[in-house]
Each structure stands twice: as C-alpha cells, then as structure tokens.
C-alpha cells in the first residue's frame, strides 16, 4: 500500500465523476493518478480537466502495482463488470450509488470484496450531513413518540434545465430515470427514519419532458409498525427545496420547509428550532479510513443494499398494471 494512496477514476459517465476525482486529489492521504473510460473522448476530457493521464486499457491500469484503489462512476449497468474486475485485481473501491442493478449482483460484489480483502464503500453522502445527525439524535431520544409518517423530497431541474447528459435518459444504462438516480438520497434517508425493512406500496412515475424515463416520481412505503413513508423526486422543479418531515404520536419534525428552512421539532408547544451540527466525515473519507484500518464499512454496505432493494421494487411497481 502506497502513501499517499494512489487512486484512479474509472469512467466519466456519471455527473459526479469529477467530484469524486477531486476528492482523491484533495484528501491528504490520497493522490489521483489516472482516468479510464470506455469512451476515449469523454475520458480524455476528464483527464485533461484533472491534469492526470488518460488510459484506454482498463486491464493494464488495474494491473499496476502502484495503484491502490479506484472511484467508480460508470453507468450502473457496468458496475458488476467494472467493480468486479477492480476487486479481482485487489483494488479498493469507492463507487457511486447504486452498488448494482439488483440486490443479488450487489451481494456478488460484496462477497468478492470480502474474499479479496478489498475495502468497498458506496457514496451515500447525506447520511453524513449535519441535518441527518440532528435527525438521528431526535429519533434516538424518542421525542416524536411512535412514528406514523415520513416524507423526504429531493428534486432539481436537470431535465427542464437541460444540463443532465443525454445518457441519463437511456434506460438500459441508467436503470431508469429520476428515481433510480436522484431518489437514492431520499430513499436511504427514509430508511434511516423508518427502518431498512420498509415495503414499497406504490410508485407513480411520469415523463413530463418526453425523454423516455421518469422525470417526476412519488413512491410510498410502509414500515412493519404501520408508518407511511413518502419519497419524492424529479428532474423538473428548479426551486423545490430539499425537505424532511417526520410525524409521530407525540411530536413532529421538519427540515427545509417554511421561509427559513430551519430544523424544527414540535411536541405541542409550537416549533422549536434545533441547532444543526457540522457534517461528519463524508463517505470518501470513511473509505480512506477503512482502507487504512482494514475495517469494512459495514453499515454503509447494508444501507446500500437496502437502498437497491427499494429502487428495484419501486421500478417494478411503477411498471405494474393499475390495480395490481
């Protein structure tokens, strides 16, 4: 293992490719050394932007003894192949969500990583944000009583603003549209609130811009205790605030709603504003620490698999005939 860790970025397919590559450049214990992409023009453009070499040969890159790990920002459908090859080469892996198109393929990758002693982490960044830490504290204290309802919304204007790349609308590569990509964040936050064992009850997808995948979506889930969760996303709302709402038998919580978007809790005496702490270490930093310590990011991987389960179930529910 080198010091600093030497990292390569595999593919510029995803819009977060440069972001994660910059993480490797900016973290004090990592160094970005190369970019690979099966699309040479796209890969060279990213490599030039980052000031590192581009290599068109993935096998040769993964065979380098001076390479410690990779960030994966390919299409989700390529994850089983590309992540699998990186693991087989003994390279640590930091990947964009989803881990894989199916839970079963995700399990294959997890098993391979454990067998090879490779540290694998999925980017679920909002779990480390300050508002999530504040949310977890309120839930742990039981302030809201028995939870009855949760709603998490995250949307942007990627479709109507026309800034998402055309490949994001190719169902074969993207595994769908807004719900398979952007909704990952409200999904894992909903699971943080209601539990990872929620069940998808309905999925409503619409294609408002006619690009062939959903750009506006609402999915409902229920917990074993009977709480209802509403997960909302889309690529067609330019000023929609990211928001969290939780209702319980003795109180409620809101974040991102109202004029000030503050984090508030109401237990019957009116809303009380709570302080939002600083963010914790982000997933990339957690991955680096995992490599150094040799400890698996167990909770991250469990949540990544639970996330995939909900996305797969929601996509199936959206395709089911009405009334089924």
Dump pLDDT digits (tens) for 82-125: 999 999 999 999 999 999 999 999 999 999 999 999 999 999 99
Enumerate the CATH 3.40.50.720 domain ranges in the chain, comma separated: 5-118
Phi, psi of 96 (to 5 degrees): -65, 150
List pLDDT tens digits, range 244-253.
Answer: 999 999 999 9
Question: For residue 69, what pLDDT band results from cuts at 50, 70 and 90?
Answer: very high
pLDDT band at 172 (very low <50, low <70, confident <90, very high): confident
Window from 27-41, 126-140, 164-178, 210-224 with minimum mean pLDDT: 164-178
Question: Does 44 have pLDDT greater than 60?
Answer: yes
pLDDT in tens, 203-246: 999 999 999 999 999 999 999 999 999 999 999 999 999 999 99
- What does the pLDDT read at residue 323? 52
Tell me which of 3.40.50.1000, 3.30.360.10, 3.40.190.10, 1.10.10.10 is the CATH number of domain 126-281+311-319.
3.30.360.10
The segment(s) of the chain belonging to CATH 3.30.360.10 are 126-281+311-319
Architecture of domain 5-118: 3-Layer(aba) Sandwich (3.40)
If you average pLDDT over residues 38-64, what whole number do you get? 98
Report, as an integer, the average pLDDT of 52-78: 97
Structure confidence at residue 95 (pLDDT): 98
For residue 183, pLDDT beyond 90:
yes
* pTM given for the model: 0.96
């Amino acid at each position: 293992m080198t010091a600093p860790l030497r990292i390569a970025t595999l593919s510029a397919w995803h819009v977060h490719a440069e972001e994660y590559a910059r993480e490797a450049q900016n973290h004090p214990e990592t160094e970005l050394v190369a970019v690979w992409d099966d699309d040479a023009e796209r890969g060279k453009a990213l490599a030039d932007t980052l000031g590192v070499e581009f290599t068109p040969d993935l096998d040769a890159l993964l065979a380098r003894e001076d390479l410690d790990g990779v960030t994966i920002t390919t299409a989700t459908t390529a994850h089983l192949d590309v992540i699998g090859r990186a693991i087989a080469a003994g390279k640590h892996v930091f990947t964009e969500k989803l881990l894989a198109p199916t839970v079963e393929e995700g399990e294959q990758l997890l098993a391979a990583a454990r067998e090879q002693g490779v540290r694998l982490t999925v980017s679920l960044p909002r779990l480390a944000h300050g508002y999530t830490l504040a949310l977890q504290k309120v839930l742990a204290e039981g302030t809201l009583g028995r939870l009855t309802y949760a709603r998490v919304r995250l949307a942007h204007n990627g479709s109507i603003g026309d800034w998402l790349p055309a490949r994001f609308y190719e169902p074969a590569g993207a595994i769908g549209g807004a719900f398979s990509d952007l909704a990952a964040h409200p999904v894992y936050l909903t699971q943080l609130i209601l539990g990872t064992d929620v069940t998808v009850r309905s999925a409503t997808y619409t294609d408002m811009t006619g690009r062939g995948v959903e750009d506006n979506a609402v999915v409902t889930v229920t917990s074993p205790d009977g709480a209802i969760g509403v997960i909302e996303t889309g690529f067609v709302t330019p000023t929609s605030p990211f928001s969290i709402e939780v209702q319980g038998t003795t109180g409620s919580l809101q974040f991102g709603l109202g004029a000030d978007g503050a984090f508030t809790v109401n237990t019957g005496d009116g809303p009380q504003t709570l302080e939002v702490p600083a963010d914790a270490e982000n997933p990339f930093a957690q991955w680096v620490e995992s490599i150094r310590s040799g400890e698996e990011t167990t909770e991250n991987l469990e949540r990544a698999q639970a996330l995939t389960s909900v996305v797969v179930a929601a996509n199936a529910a959206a395709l089911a005939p009405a009334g089924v």
